[in-house]
Amino acid sequence: MPGGERMGIKHVSDIVMDLVEPIAVDRGLDLVDVEFQPHGRRSVLRLYLDRPGGIGLDDLAEVSREVSDVLDAHDVVPGQYTLECSSPGINRRLRKMQDFVRYCGKPVRVRTSTPIAGARTFAGLLVSADDDGIEIEDESRGRLSVPLRAIERANYEHDFRVELRDGRS
């Protein structure tokens, strides 16, 4: 970074998100998440990208080259780093409002920064999502409202039992 300033982990991820999002959108991709993990002299920067119908290796390779050039030009990531571009996987992270809206009616796992109804981890059906927060039909606690600002991490929780029961693979 210019001037030798040190950036926090969250700050690097936020800056990378801002720089990479337009590249992803131009390619018809959704930038699902950015993770920055410092590891001594060589850090790891992971970008999770997706698109409706799934993302292929060629897509990931192309976006990796373009993103690498942009990040190097902006000198965003301190020190040496490895850039990894990947699909978010089946239990993808939910970060943006559009993610929560898209996954309404689906099973999720949510961890909050502060306790709600005496707990910080919830699993169940995502009932609704709006600018105020989300509603979860938690398997053991019933229906709960969770403010967006309290969500530390949220993931879609794929239920393989449904596929097996319905005869899908």
Domains of the chain: 2-86 (3.30.300.70), 97-166 (2.30.30.180)
CA distance 45 to 130: 30
This model's pTM is above 0.75:
no
Residues in the chain, pLDDT under 70: 1-10, 161-169
Q: Cα angle at 12 between 134 and 121, to 5 degrees?
A: 30
DSSP three-state, residue 35: strand
Look up residue 15 and give its two tokens. Answer: 């800056």
Could you tell me the CA-to-CA distances from 81 to 41, 75, 166 in Å, in that order? 8, 11, 44
The pLDDT tens digits for 117-140 are 899 999 999 999 999 899 999 988
The pLDDT tens digits for 99-119 are 899 899 999 999 999 999 899
